[in-house]
Amino acid sequence: MTSAPSASGAREAHPDNLGHVIFIAASAAMGGFLFGYDSSVINGAVEAIRSRYDIGSAALAQVIAIALIGCAIGAATAGRIADRIGRIRCMQISAVLFLVSAIGSALPFALYDLAFWRIVGGFAIGMASVIGPAYIAEVSPPAYRGRLGSFQQAAIVVGIAMSQLVNWGILQAAGGDQRGEVLGLEAWQVMLGVMVVPAALYGMLSFAIPESPRYLVSAGKDERARAVLREVEGEHVDLDARVAEIQENLHREHKPTFKDLLGGRFWFLPIVWVGIGLSAFQQLVGINVAFYYSSTLWQSVGVNPTDSFFYSFTTSIINIIGTVVAMIFVDRIGRRPLALIGSVGMCIGLALEAWAFSYDLVDGKLPATQGWVALIAAHWFVFFFAMSWGVVVWVFLGEMFPNRIRAAALGVAASAQWIANWAITASFPSLADWNLSATYIIYACFAALSIPFVLKFVKETKGKALEEMG
């Protein structure tokens, strides 16, 4: 299906200063950086929190996973907040919440206090996960929207890697002891507190970028919208026609509700269940174990803390490489083939980890062969996840639903993702105490089940207009 040319010339628009538009998108993507950083920084504090508060695996898991409650609330409310007060104000609120969460998490006076600040940080993550991509899409010239939109995912994986690198550096300064003293605090407290730096930078950058022209038009600020459109799309676009296009789209837009998703024999429409399935499988393969617990995992099989933090950092680098591979190939070979390749690769990696962890420890360590297999397989698993399901699921969810239910269906699918994320994060410490090898067999089974799920239920969306979906 070929779209008719835009009367305003927006589709062919090229900004007069592309570097400035890139700066705007990159500034907004700082929310994604904080998303990744905050999600992963706890990795360096897990064992120290267990020791400091003398808690078991089940209680520890709840402290780690409780941030996901805030994530779900933040994601569910961010859209409405942004529609009422604007995208930029929403970013600023998110930056403040990130900042106070970092300070509170670094200076907790009790375990429940730490848990509260984790929820606050989670709320900020949820907001950032919604506002960043929406804002970037609204300020990007159509010809550059795909590339600029990829900044958000790239920022997330860079944030994950940066948190692991900072954690490793702080641990080095503390002599390899997560509870060693750094700057008058225990090392793990400094790890959580360092996030004030990117949070403050995010807040400052939000004052340097313009409000979304879509929000400005919806708020009746047409002149300001014209100025922003001139700034991001160039002088040669018919600005009056562009504003009129936005106004027409706003008036024509159908606001989907939960009722629109209901139908069929199993409550939701079949396409909604497919979205829920994609979201669930993305988390049920255990990917967040690699980012929340990898340091703890390596230490549990005899790797010293400093080396375990270094391995966590190298895993994050592999995550970045895999994400770049996905960004290169998702539009070339298609979403379904990439998902299937990733599922097979993840299944192999998880099965090898299960095999390696099935061996008894010798002097507190895995035998040499099994140790190397576990390390290589962990990196293999993260690479195949990042080059497939890490990116492809978000592409599918943005494309696969019919226009009239897209926003509501995406919200339900995203909620399923947070729930599955919480289930894996909260259960891993107890499952690992029970049987680490069996835990990885469970994750491998979910990776294997994702193959027939994709083959039977998921349709390719590559090269199709959004109007063709459903």
Of residues 388 and 402, more confidently modeled? 388
Helix (H) / strand (E) containing 455:
helix 406-457
10 Å Cβ neighbour count for 248? 10
Predicted pLDDT at 466? 46
Predicted pLDDT at 192? 95
Predicted pLDDT at 440? 95
Question: Binning pLDDT at 50, 70 and 90, where does residue 1 land?
Answer: very low
Rounded to an integer, the average pLDDT of 140-163 is: 82
**Which two tokens mark 187?**
């090392």
Of residues 468 and 271, more confidently modeled? 271
- Give the torsion sign (CA, 228, 234, 240, 246): negative
Least confident of 3-12, 103-112, 143-152, 225-234: 3-12
Predicted pLDDT at 408? 73
DSSP assignment string, 116-168: HHHHHHHHHHHHHHHHHHHHHHHHS-GGGHHHHHHHHHHHHHHHHHHHHHHHH
What's the CA gap between 95 and 243, in Å, rounded?
30
Average pLDDT over the chain, rounded to an integer: 86
Predicted pLDDT at 3? 42
- pLDDT tens digits along 201-218: 999 999 999 999 988 998
Least confident of 105-109, 175-179, 309-313, 397-401: 397-401
* pLDDT reading at 13 higher than 60: no
Predicted pLDDT at 197? 95
- pLDDT tens digits along 65-123: 888 888 888 887 888 888 889 999 999 999 999 999 999 999 999 999 999 999 999 99
Question: Binning pLDDT at 50, 70 and 90, where does residue 136 land?
Answer: confident
Predicted pLDDT at 4? 44
Question: Binning pLDDT at 50, 70 and 90, where does residue 144 land?
Answer: confident
Predicted pLDDT at 258? 65
* pLDDT reading at 253 higher than 80: no
pTM exceeds 0.75: yes
CB 92 within 8 A of CB 206: yes
Of residues 468 and 26, more confidently modeled? 26
What's the CA gap between 364 and 177, in Å, rounded?
18
Predicted pLDDT at 470? 52
pLDDT over 90 percentage in the chain = 40
Of residues 136 and 283, more confidently modeled? 283
* pLDDT reading at 153 higher than 50: yes
Of residues 255 and 344, more confidently modeled? 344
10 Å Cβ neighbour count for 23? 14
